[in-house]
Amino acid sequence: MSTLNSEKLPRIGVLGGMGPLASAMFMVQLVEATPAAFDRDHFPHTLDSSPQIPDRPTAIAGRGPDPLVEIIEAIKRLEASGASLITMPCNTVHHWYDGIAASTSLPVLHIADAVAECIRSQLPAAKRVGVLGSTVTSKLLVYEKRLGDEWQWVFATDDELTQSVMPGIAAVKAGNLPLGREHFLQAVTNMIQRKVDVVVFACTEIPIVLKAEDVPVPTIDSSLALALHTVKVAQSMRVRKDEAA
């Protein structure tokens, strides 16, 4: 991508902090996904990392405040920073997608759309898709609700969520990456036994510690998929600006 100095590129707004390490690593993926020869070829972006947004699983369990109020405050800060679109490197928060999208006139990307694009292009024959994510993502069907029946969805069981996935997420958030890896390896081993064609790392904490080569079936990193999708959408907004000129 080559940029004229006079061209104003769209600013990417990143709603982060859930968790902070996953958000920071997403920023690296976002930059690496951008074709650029110079600093100025990169899209400007603003990361609003707000780790004090109330805990999502606790809210769903009815034991804590609704996070949507503080999420919308963060969206307003991103709007004020000049953002042209919103992207959210956290799968669980997409349970609140409709409320978030309704709060702003900016386009809000959906991580499941990004993953779907990757599956269609990389694994067109895939039928059974394993979604390895948090209890909220799994039980409240964040992917199924967005993408319908294009694929057969496979999730972790209640026991696997309680004993492996959620402890793995907590370990990564606490900075204990080896423990997180151990839990996720157990969870992915169980999921593969249910004959999935692909495993989606549908929690942005997972690819921090688990790589494609750790898993004997194809995998999709939802964080990387979102980075690629975000750059693609930002580029399409740029083209429209060029055409308008």
> Catalytic residues, which ones?
90, 203
| 95 scored as a contact of its own copies (CB under 8 A) | no
Nearest to 48 by CA among 84, 86, 14: 14
Which one of 10, 15, 48, 132 is in contact with its own copies (CB under 8 A)?
48
Integer Cα distance of 34 and 12 in angstroms: 12
Sign of CA dihedral 212, 50, 145, 225: negative
Contact with its own copies (CB under 8 A) among 32, 98, 150, 158: 32
Rounded-to-integer distance, Cα 128 and Cα 89, Å:
24
**Would strands 83-87 and 219-221 be described as parallel, antiparallel, or unpaired?**
unpaired
**Beta partners for 236?**
none
CB 123 to its own copies: min, Å? 27
Compute the distance between CA of residue 109 and CA of residue 95 in angstroms, rounded to an integer: 13
Q: Is 121:168 a contact under the CB 8 Å cutoff?
A: no
Residues 63-82 as x/- pattern, contact with its own copies by CB under 8 A: --------------x--xxx
Shortest CB 110 distance to its own copies, Å:
22
Total Cβ atoms within 10 A of residue 208:
22
Q: How far apart are CA 157 and CA 159, in angstroms?
A: 5
Q: Does residue 24 bind its own copies (CB under 8 A)?
A: yes
Regarding 51 and contact with its own copies (CB under 8 A), the answer is: yes
* Least spacing, CB of residue 154 vs its own copies, in Å: 28
- Which is closer to its own copies, CB of 68 or CB of 215? 68
Q: Identify the three-state secondary structure at position 1.
A: coil
How many residues are present in the chain? 245
Handedness of CA 177, 202, 222, 121 (dihedral sign): positive
- Does residue number 85 form part of the binding site for its own copies (CB under 8 A)? no
Per-residue x/- marks for its own copies, 162-201, CB under 8 A? -----------xxx--------------------------
Among 10, 15, 44, 195, binds its own copies (CB under 8 A): 44
Of the candidate spans 51-59, 130-138, 154-162, 216-224, the one that interacts with its own copies by CB under 8 A turns out to be 51-59
Quick check: 21 binds its own copies (CB under 8 A)? yes
Asked if 25 touches its own copies (CB under 8 A), the answer is yes
Interface ranges with its own copies (CB under 8 A): 5, 9, 17-21, 23-25, 27-28, 30-32, 34, 36-53, 55, 77, 80-82, 173-175
